[in-house]
Amino acid sequence: MSAPVFVLTPDTLEPAGGAQTARRGGTLTLTGPEAHHAVAVRRLRVGERVDLVDGAGLRLVCEVAEGGRPDRLGVRVVERVVETPPPLRLALVQALAKGGRDEQAVQTATEVGVEVVVPWQAERCVSVWRGPRAVRGRDRWQATAREAAKQARRARVPQVDRVRTTRDLVGWTGEVVAAGGLVLVLHEAATAPLGGVDLPRPGPPRPVVAVVVGPEGGVSEAETTALRDAGALVVRLGPHVLRTASAGPVALAVLAQRAGLWS
């Protein structure tokens, strides 16, 4: 079984800034909720392997050197790895949905390898994010991405962007396309298959390949037209209609395989 992963931050690691200077044989102490989970929930013991990641590509392969206290985990660094970022940045534009389906999409997309998540307040969304609710919703999605990244043993944690209206999303689409990226709107009435789309050439800078998923009620004709006019391509995922929770992750998996991100 692969080693468990815990996310370190400047506030949960001793000495402060230790991740940047850690080398083989060095010792660090993880504190806070992550340490509590490692000691009290996972019950890690001295000598067991554990990986500490910073969420931006740094992985410290460690072994437990000291345990026993519920909020502190002492480790010894075995190897320092700075993982090379993939040539493309996968992004998920996910319409808000009820019943936790949007969070499910974020979770599975993180396991697939998404790097950017954009919440979308689409025309037909039943759920509405405004004011404090938008802050709480974004924080909840970010926490979901963080936990999913740990479960998937990723060294990179996806970043959840601010919620965007359709007007905002149209502007974002234009920026991505102008920078050499690709925005794909999934639509059941489209004729162009997702598998036939030409992917952008790797950078630098790394181009974004984004998948836009509408709410359960679908993407409206006006939204489809506006996004297409901004440079997005409207594509069909497959012969069956997938729910909003599964459409994005499935599409991202197809793109990841085609781009060689899983090879």
Q: Which is nearest to 232 in space by CA: 164, 174, 163?
A: 174
End-to-end CA distance of the chain: 21
Q: What is the pLDDT of residue 241?
A: 87
Q: Partners of 165 in the beta sheet?
A: 121
Distances (CA, A) of 247 to 54, 94, 170, 194, 237: 29, 10, 21, 12, 8
Q: What's the order of all strands across the beta sheet hosting 49-53?
A: 5-7, 49-53, 58-66, 72-82, 27-31, 13-14
The three-state (H, E, C) secondary structure of 188-230, written as one string = CCCCCEHHHCCCCCCCCCCCEEEEEECCCCCCCHHHHHHHHHC
> Which tokens go with 150?
């740990």
Determine how many CB atoms are found less than 10 A away from the CB of residue 185.
22
Structure tokens at 225: 């037209």
Residue 87 DSSP symbol: S
Q: Which of 3, 96, 79 is nearest to 44 (CA)?
A: 3
Indicate the residue type of 263.
S
Distance separating alpha carbons of residues 8 and 55, to the nearest angstrom: 8
Phi-psi region of 15 (alpha: psi -120 to 50; beta: other; left: phi over 0): beta
Nearest-angstrom CA–CA distance, 133 and 232? 29
Model pTM greater than 0.85?
Answer: yes
Q: How far apart are CA 33 and CA 53, in angstroms?
A: 15
φ and ψ at 140, to 5 degrees? Answer: -65, -40
Per-residue pLDDT of the chain (263 residues; tens, 9 = 90+): 689 999 998 888 998 888 888 999 999 999 999 999 999 888 999 999 999 999 999 999 999 998 768 889 999 999 999 999 999 999 999 999 999 999 999 999 999 999 999 999 999 999 999 999 999 999 999 999 999 999 999 999 999 999 999 999 999 999 999 999 999 999 999 999 999 999 999 889 999 999 999 999 899 999 999 999 999 999 999 898 899 999 999 999 999 999 999 98
